Amino acid sequence: MNATSQAVKPRALEPDSLWEQLTGGLVRTRYRVQHDHLARSFSLLVDAWHHLMAPKLAGPPADQIELIERRFDALLEADLANVAQGYYPRELLLQLPLSQYLRCIPQVLLEAPRVLMRSQKNRYDELPEALDLSAYPRYYRRNFHWQTDGWLSDHSARMYDMAVEVLFAGTADIMRRMAIPPVIEATRTIERPRILDVACGTGRFLLQLQKALPNAKYFGLDLSPFYLRFASQQLRHVADLSLVSDNAEAMPFADASFDVVTTIFLFHELPRDARRNVAREMFRVLKPGGRLSFCDSAQRHESAEIGAYLERFATIYHEPYYKSYLKDTVEDLLREVGFEIESATAHLVSKVVVARRPE
């Protein structure tokens, strides 16, 4: 894998007791078996779905599939290594709510013909009619990935986590977790860090981050009130959390008010200018010396060898800004607005960029 980095330094750990080594070994085995199975069964579903959506589209080149398999393996090992290094608790390895996801299956089957029809007729503007859409930017008013209601219903919010997990063959949460170690490193000396997750969606990242770092004051911002409503249920046990519905291009937060800003899977859904507006806002609300932990799709810059694999995503799904994102190197755009880049690391089909607002 072509990843750059000055990797985050793990803290020194005490050697594990025999009991811990034993339970750790069992968890490791269960985790590997679970993810190998999930990857195989979800990939079969996704391949069949892609065949229905784009029957004439050739499959990804064999050499790229091999590379993806190697990256998959490396991602699981990185996840296990993060636990071994104490960045997050072992329980996160086996936390996927699979029964909750399975309960969505009847709804998926019912909806599939409509989604297929929508994609074939290119009806990316089928949104709930009763809503006042003028409150949302133009680029946002669409059915990204052809999902029913776009970002704008409770139903969409309920289906989202399952759909993303299936699409990424069970690795969506793992890729999100790769953004946790930089947050832990950045907050080691801060007693009660203030952390903002931009475009927090249904809260999957915050849910995991707060298990790794319970003693923080958390904020989640998202433009969808429906996704935030779902997030507030998922995160109801988090003591110190504020969820705010607003546009990340003009955030309702004071300058220099956060120690860490995170953002996961947002930028590939923004047009070029909006990406810069959001990056500028993240810079503004960070304290000098504060860190950004950014995770989104891999890009051509560091992942050219799987370029054809990534481009297929924009061909099959409604992702109008994805191809321009692939070329718009995140490290450069963050530098443009004033950040210093500390590291950039590819993980399967994603990348994590750690950036610092200079003092």
State the residues that interact with ligand SAM by CB under 6 A.
140, 151, 176, 199-201, 204-205, 222-224, 227, 247-249, 264-266, 269
Measured CA to CA, the distance from residue 28 to residue 25 in angstroms comes to: 5
> What is the smallest separation between the CB atom of 16 and ligand SAM, expressed in angstroms?
31
> What is the smallest separation between the CB atom of 4 and ligand SAM, expressed in angstroms?
23
In the chain, beta strands by DSSP E: 194-198, 217-222, 241-245, 258-264, 286-297, 340-347, 350-356
Q: What is the DSSP string of 56-94?
A: TSPPPPHHHHHHHHHHHHHHHHHHHHHHHTTSS-GGGGG
**How far, in Å, are 3, 8, 9, 78, 197 from residue 343 at the CA level?**
9, 8, 12, 16, 19
Number of Cβ atoms within 10 Å of the Cβ of 55: 7
How many residues are recorded in the chain?
359
* Cβ nearer to ligand SAM, comparing 184 with 199: 199
Residue nearest to ligand SAM (CB): 201
The greatest distance separating any two alpha carbons of the chain, rounded to the nearest whole angstrom, comes to: 61
* Cβ nearer to ligand SAM, comparing 156 with 303: 156
* Cβ nearer to ligand SAM, comparing 64 with 148: 148
* Cβ nearer to ligand SAM, comparing 142 with 357: 142
> What is the smallest separation between the CB atom of 339 and ligand SAM, expressed in angstroms?
19
> What is the smallest separation between the CB atom of 224 and ligand SAM, expressed in angstroms?
4
If you ran DSSP here, which 8-state letter would residue 343 be given? E
* Cβ nearer to ligand SAM, comparing 36 with 126: 126
> What is the smallest separation between the CB atom of 250 and ligand SAM, expressed in angstroms?
9
If you ran DSSP here, which 8-state letter would residue 351 be given? E
SS3 sequence, 154-206?
HHHHHHHHHHHHHHCCCCHHHHHHCCHHHHHHHCCCCCCCEEEEECCCCCHHH
* Cβ nearer to ligand SAM, comparing 66 with 228: 228
Measured CA to CA, the distance from residue 48 to residue 45 in angstroms comes to: 5
> What is the smallest separation between the CB atom of 215 and ligand SAM, expressed in angstroms?
22
> What is the smallest separation between the CB atom of 200 and ligand SAM, expressed in angstroms?
6
* Cβ nearer to ligand SAM, comparing 263 with 345: 263
Question: Nearest 5°: phi and psi at 221?
Answer: -120, 135
